[in-house]
Amino acid sequence: MTILTSDQIKEQLNELSNKWSDAEEKVILLEAGKKAMFSKCVLKHKKFVKTNAEAEHEAMLDKDYQDVVKSYALAEKKLIQARYEYDNYKIAISFKQTEMKLGVS
């Protein structure tokens, strides 16, 4: 790891935290969209079945709903990656500080 100035470290942490918050925003928006799409699909399938349970079952199998669920899962994955990237960077900086204090490279 190259020795960075405190300003460079702060800048990198800001970039990583922005990436994390952008991923969190996408998850929140997709979660709302997932609920809306489910409701839309239930209403669509309610015309063809007798019970709400059947309509909900059909809605979960609907391609439009499945596409939103896949997008949501991908957004969650990116959120987790952004969170770990931020945390791992902080850990790496901490290790580097310890190495410098102990005179170990």
Residue with tokens 């709400």: 52
Nearest to 4 by CA among 82, 93, 74, 80: 93
What confidence tens digit (pLDDT) does each residue in 20-35 have?
A: 999 999 999 999 999 9
**Does residue 5 carry a pLDDT above 90?**
no
What confidence tens digit (pLDDT) does each residue in 52-83 have?
A: 999 999 999 999 999 999 999 999 999 999 99
**Does residue 1 carry a pLDDT above 60?**
no
6 confidence band (pLDDT: 50, 70, 90): confident
